[in-house]
């Protein structure tokens, strides 16, 4: 068998296995929706939409030639914690009821707020991926043709994708009524926000210099700045 085919098999096998496991958990979670409540169904639908928005960008941007990356132990720990709290733990719990001992009760109106929040979340998540385009990456990195994006949803906010994830993280405990599968994402993303954003901004300043500084004057970190 040619060596190249061997290598592609090795790199794609974990991805295929992960996808099959995720799909199985998704089906089981949908089948158990009466145990989990309707909020969990909304969360599952948003999870599928979020994956559909991100996957094409992940596949295309793999071709980027990375010239600088911040991949220390803290960054890896933050990414793993987010992946677990935002995807793995909720899917396992909704599919199996594993963490039922940590369930809590919420009134219907709270679940409804979580459901309505999925609209701004998915819109901002979609638009920030579309506007960032080839410059998006899951880790902190700069590639050879990296461009500073200051248009679209980036015009007034420097971190619209993280703003979207904030909405999603705060809504998750309203949809999944469980301390581990629902609430844990809030401290996980707070840690990511407070630790990663200063590093990301330093990387952008190092790459784009005064253009980045001028952009910071026009655009707020999380909330839009008033037009002057
Ligand atoms: N923090 C941004 C982007 C998250 S994706 C947001 O919340 O919308 C993370 C990657 O985006 C980082 O590796 C960084 O290289 C890149 N990035 C962040 N802001 C950028 C910008 N304004 N223009 C181009 N790339 C940017």
pLDDT tens digits for range 120-164: 999 999 999 999 999 999 999 999 999 999 999 999 999 999 999
Give the tens place of pLDDT for each residue, 52-65: 999 999 888 888 88
Other beta carbons within 10 angstroms of residue 54's beta carbon come to 16
Give, using CA atoms, the residue closest to atom 6 of ligand 1: 159
User: What is residue 19's predicted lDDT score, i.e. its pLDDT?
Assistant: 87
| Residue 192 CA: distances (Å) to CA of 62, 136, 201 | 23, 17, 13
* 123 Cα–ligand 1 center, Å: 17
Mutate to test the pocket of ligand 1, among 204, 217, 222 (most ligand atoms within 8 A of CB): 204
User: Ligand 1 in contact with 118 (CB < 6 A)?
Assistant: no
pTM: predicted TM-score of the whole model, two decimal places: 0.92
User: What is residue 228's predicted lDDT score, i.e. its pLDDT?
Assistant: 57
What is 66-107 written as a DSSP string?
Answer: EEEEE--HHHHHHHHHHHIIIIIHHHHHHHH-TTGGGB----
Report domain extents, the chain.
2-218
User: What is residue 15's predicted lDDT score, i.e. its pLDDT?
Assistant: 82
* 159 Cα–ligand 1 center, Å: 7
* 115 Cα–ligand 1 center, Å: 27
Give the nearest ligand 1 atom to 141 CA.
Answer: 13
Over its length of 228 residues, how does the chain's per-residue pLDDT go in tens digits? 444 444 444 557 888 888 899 999 999 999 999 999 999 999 999 999 999 999 999 888 888 889 888 889 999 999 999 999 999 999 999 999 999 999 999 999 999 999 999 999 999 999 999 999 999 999 999 999 999 999 999 999 999 999 999 999 999 999 999 999 999 999 999 999 999 999 999 999 999 999 999 999 999 999 987 765
Q: List Cβ<8 Å contacts ≥24 apart for 212-216.
A: 212/148, 215/148, 215/150, 215/158, 216/158
Give the domain 2-218 fold: 1.20.120
């Amino acid at each position: 068998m040619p060596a190249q085919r061997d290598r592609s098999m090795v790199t794609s096998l974990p991805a295929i296995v992960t996808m099959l496991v995720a799909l199985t958990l998704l089906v089981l979670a949908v089948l158990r929706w009466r145990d989990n409540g309707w909020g969990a169904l909304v969360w599952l639908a948003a999870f599928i939409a979020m994956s559909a928005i991100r996957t094409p960008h992940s596949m295309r941007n793999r071709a980027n030639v990375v010239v600088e990356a911040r991949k220390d132990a803290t960054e890896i720990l933050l990414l793993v914690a987010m992946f677990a709290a935002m995807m793995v733990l909720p899917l396992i719990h909704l599919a199996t009821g594993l963490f039922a001992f940590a369930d809590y009760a919420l009134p219907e109106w709270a679940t409804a707020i979580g459901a309505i929040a999925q609209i701004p979340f998915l819109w901002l998540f979609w638009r920030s991926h579309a506007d960032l385009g080839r410059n998006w990456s899951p880790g902190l990195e700069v590639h050879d043709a990296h461009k500073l994006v200051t248009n679209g949803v980036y015009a007034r906010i420097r971190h619209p994708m993280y703003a979207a994830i904030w909405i999603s993280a705060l809504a998750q405990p309203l949809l999944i009524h469980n301390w581990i599968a629902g609430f844990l994402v809030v401290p996980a993303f707070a840690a990511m926000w407070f630790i990663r954003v200063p590093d990301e901004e330093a990387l952008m300043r190092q790459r784009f210099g005064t253009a980045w500084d001028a952009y910071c004057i026009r655009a707020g970190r999380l909330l839009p700045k008033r037009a002057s």
